[in-house]
Amino acid sequence: MDKKYGLYCLGSLVNTYDDAIEAHNDAVFAQEESGVPHEVKEIKETTNLNHFKFKLSEKIQSKSDADFSRVVFEAKRRGNADLYDVTNNMYDEAFIYTKSNVDEYIKNGDWILI
């Protein structure tokens, strides 16, 4: 099983990595640039999230014509179902995602938890 590592600033996940050394190097750089402590932790499980907020990664934003840089998304699980309702603070649209999709997007670093 592949491990994932998270770069955290003040307790919030900023980015995810497949490589611990790359995550560490980015943490050192970010701390030197900002003066704010950053840390790297292994991401163990994403399946227990029932309600969370996230932003789209820069990788995903660069593939879109729309500006999502200030959009905050909110995902809420439908009870014990494997479905999530996803809304955001800019548009009236709501989307439905499966739990496996949500886990994959977080694990791949496409959705950055805030």
Sequence-ordered list of residues with C-beta below 8 angstroms from that of 101, at least 6 positions apart, any chain: none
For the segment 2-20, the average pLDDT, to the nearest whole number, is: 80
How much is the pLDDT for 1? 46
The helix/strand count (H/E) of the chain reads as 3, 8
Confidence (pLDDT) at 46: 52
Reported as a single tens digit per residue, the pLDDT across 87-114 is: 998 888 889 999 889 988 998 889 988 8
Whole-structure pTM value: 0.58
Q: pLDDT tens-digit profile of 55-92?
A: 998 888 888 777 888 889 999 998 878 899 999 988 88
